[in-house]
Amino acid sequence: MTRLPITKTPKVYVGGAFIRSESARVFPLQDAAGNFFGNIPQCTRKDLRNAVEAAAKAGPGWAKRTAYNRGQILYRLAEMLEARRAELIGSLTMFGAVQADAARGVDAAVDRLIYYAGWADKYEQVLGSVNPVAAPYFNFTVTEPMGVIGVIAPDVPPLLGLISLVAPAIVSGNTVVALVSEKFPYPSILLGEMLATSDLPGGVVNLLTGFRKELVPTFATHTHLRAIVGAVGAADRKALELGAADSVKRTHFVDPDATDWLADTAQGLEAIRDTLEFKTTWHPVGA
C-alpha cells in the first residue's frame, strides 16, 4: 500500500514549547536541489519580545541550579545530539553541505557541548578570586550570570555556530534568545527538539527563525537583553552597538568570516566570561 508523505511543519522552540510566529508569517525553504522543503516561521519583534519574557521567567530557576547540575544537563543535551547525529548530518547535507564537512560539524558541536559542560563547575575557580587588600578584610570576587542574553548566530555553520555561542552563555546560568541562521534554519529546528528532551528547563534557550534585517534592530534596543553575542558583519555590528548603547548593554562580536568554528580557538573560558558579571565583596576578618 502506498503511504501519503508525512511532511513536517517546522516550528521554533520558545519558552519550552514549539510555536509558530505570532504573525503567522512563514518563508519557504528550498533544499539544495531547489525542491520545496517546508515553510519556516518568519519571527517578528513581538516573537522576540515574547521569547525574552520566557527567558526572563526561566532565568532565576536556571541560575539557582547547582553548577554541577547545569553541567549534567549540558552533557545530556550532547547525548541527545549524539543520538540523532545522522539526522543532524542529513539536515546539513540536504541543504548543500558536503557529507564529510557536515559530519565534522555535528561532531564538533557535540564536543563543544561536552567542553562547556565540563566548565560548568570549574570556571568559577578560575575567574573568581580572593584579592589581597591592605585592611582587615577578606575580599572576594565572584561571578554571576548577567540575565537574558541575545545571541545572533552565523549563517554558516548553522548548527556549530549557534551552539558555540549559546553553550558558553547558558553554562553560567544565563538564559538565551537566539536568532538562528537565516539561510539554513532547519538544523536549529531539530536542535529545538533536542533541547526539549534534554532536561534543560523550558525558556533557558529560545530559538527564533526569521530575517536578520527585521530582528536585529529589536535585539539592539530591547532593554531586557543584558548582552548581545553576535556573529555578524560590519553593518549589523554597527546597528547593534548603536542600539545597545541606549541601555548600556554589553556587546561581543565574533567575525563570522574569520572564525574557524571547528578549531579549539572557537571555544574557551573567555566566551563564558563574556556573559558574566563580577561581584566583589568585602568581608570583615573575624576574631
| 61 interacts with another protein by CB under 8 A | no
C-beta of 174 vs 218, nearer to another protein: 218
C-beta of 19 vs 106, nearer to another protein: 19
Rounded to a whole number of angstroms, the minimum distance from the CB of residue 154 to another protein is 25
* Position among 70, 112, 212, 222 found at the interface with another protein (CB under 8 A): 222
The CA dihedral of 166, 168, 173, 177, to the nearest 10 degrees, is: -20
C-beta of 90 vs 243, nearer to another protein: 243
On whether the CB atoms of residues 175 and 59 are closer than 8 A, the answer is: yes
Residues touching another protein: how many (CB under 8 A)?
Answer: 12
Helix (H) or strand (E) holding 19: strand 17-19
* Position among 66, 129, 197, 223 found at the interface with another protein (CB under 8 A): 223
C-beta of 66 vs 223, nearer to another protein: 223
Strand positions, DSSP E, 137-285: 137-145, 148-152, 175-179, 205-208, 225-230, 250-253, 276-284
Rounded to a whole number of angstroms, the minimum distance from the CB of residue 42 to another protein is 19
Kindly list the distances between the CA atom of residue 61 and the CA atoms of 70, 77, 138, 201, in Å, as whole numbers in the listed order.
11, 18, 29, 9
Rounded to a whole number of angstroms, the minimum distance from the CB of residue 221 to another protein is 4
Site string for another protein, 17-46 (x = CB under 8 A): ----------------------------x-
Q: Which residue's C-alpha cell is 564538533?
A: 108
| 224 interacts with another protein by CB under 8 A | yes
Rounded to a whole number of angstroms, the minimum distance from the CB of residue 224 to another protein is 4
| 227 interacts with another protein by CB under 8 A | no
On whether the CB atoms of residues 271 and 129 are closer than 8 A, the answer is: no
Q: Which residue's C-alpha cell is 548593554?
A: 249
* Position among 43, 51, 52, 109 found at the interface with another protein (CB under 8 A): 52
Window 79-138: residues binding another protein (CB under 8 A)? none
Site string for another protein, 243-272 (x = CB under 8 A): x--xx-------------------------
On whether the CB atoms of residues 109 and 190 are closer than 8 A, the answer is: no
Q: Where are the alpha helices (DSSP H) in 122-209?
A: 123-127, 158-170, 186-196
On whether the CB atoms of residues 171 and 70 are closer than 8 A, the answer is: yes
Helix (H, G, I), strand (E, B) or coil at 138: strand
| 218 interacts with another protein by CB under 8 A | yes
Query: Which residues sit at the interface with another protein, rule CB under 8 A?
Result: 45, 49, 52, 56, 218, 221-224, 243, 246-247
